[in-house]
Amino acid sequence: MSARLLVVDDEAAQMKALCNTLEIEGYRTTGYNSPQEALRNLRPGEHELLLTDLMMPDIDGIELIRAARAIDPEIAGVVMTGHGTIDTAVAAMQVGALDYVLKPFKLNAILTVIGRALDIRRLRIENAVLQRREREQAAELATAYSDLESFSYSVSHDLRSPLRAIRGFTDLYLSEFGEGIPPEGRRRLDQVVAGAERMDQLIEDLLKFCRFSRAPLTRRPVDLNAMAKRVIADLQAREPERKIDVQAGELPSVEGDASLLEQVLTNLLSNAFKFTRKVSSPRVETGTLTDAPQAQPGERVCFVRDNGAGFDMKYADNLFGVFQRMHSREQFEGTGVGLSIVQRILQRHGGRIWAESAPDRGATFYFVL
């Protein structure tokens, strides 16, 4: 649809000639030789652009643009003047004019100015829409965070109360009547206790995921190399009887949130330790590559590799989903939240993670910050 132009010039003949010329060029025009009359008839949204003479009696072009934008803030203004000084241009811009054109002007000159002004107007409107959407999304996000806080509180307190009751009464029953419970009954009660413990762990891991997803980032220099060695030493201390060949290669120093990045290394390395339990000669390796698969040119890619149980890559799309597991609980403990936490933390740092694996051939997790 052609743009609608409001043309104001106190010289009636010039105004009509300009309107006729612009109509021929495809614009729809409305012309006035009185700025007061133009203002009386102006309605919001009727015109995209006001093309006005600068020097007019009673109301000059600058005042007209100011008054017109008070009625319709989205109307663009262009001043026509034979007094093409810098001061004129600045004064016109200050009240909302997008451009000015010098009299006498050639048709190509004024068409260029009008086209440019309409483009700028369109971009300003689109930008205003984007800003409004951004404000709305920020408000929605704040509401979502508030709802998440309420949900976390409910999960932490209300949902755990029945679990505590189940555990408490089951333990009480076992302590009071344990000697008289037949083996099958004891097995059933043990299943109740195990189920309650698993539910409690699922709730705890869900709360962790929520917490790591919304915790504010405190960025500072982080030595991943030293951090990985601390995590490895802690994991080895938890299972001193295991003999694991750990090859701790160099990891880079980065900018990030130290506590969250430590959670990344803890989850990845604890998985590597866990999934090598059934291997006769377990091996875990960390390091940095510049030619890793799926890496962008020049990227430093960190990796954690093991020779453990591995997984089938056809299920890789589910790998980082919440509560997604590649192995049964009978094979390996866990709730399937750890990798989703890792991915979320890395995404919040502007990074990403991916994996390569095969059943019984170990797994390698690559990540970039």
Summarize pLDDT for 252-297 with one digit per residue, the tens.
899 998 888 888 898 899 889 988 988 889 999 999 988 777 777 7
Q: Which helix (H) or strand (E) holds 289?
A: strand 283-289
The pLDDT of residue 151 is 65
Residues contacting 69, CB < 8 A, separation 6+: 75, 77, 95, 96
Q: Hey, what CATH class is 4-105 in?
A: alpha beta
Residue 48 pLDDT greater than 50, yes or no: yes
CA–CA dist 85, 83 (Å, integer): 6
- Between 332 and 115, where is the model more confident? 115
Residue 313: pLDDT band (50, 70, 90) is confident
The pLDDT of residue 145 is 65
Task: Enter the tokens of residue 185.
Answer: 């009954």
Instruction: Report the DSSP beta bridge partners of residue 80.
Output: 53, 101
For the chain, the domains span: 4-105, 159-214, 219-368
Q: Which fold has domain 219-368?
A: Heat Shock Protein 90 (3.30.565)
The pLDDT of residue 106 is 85
Handedness of CA 155, 157, 158, 164 (dihedral sign): positive
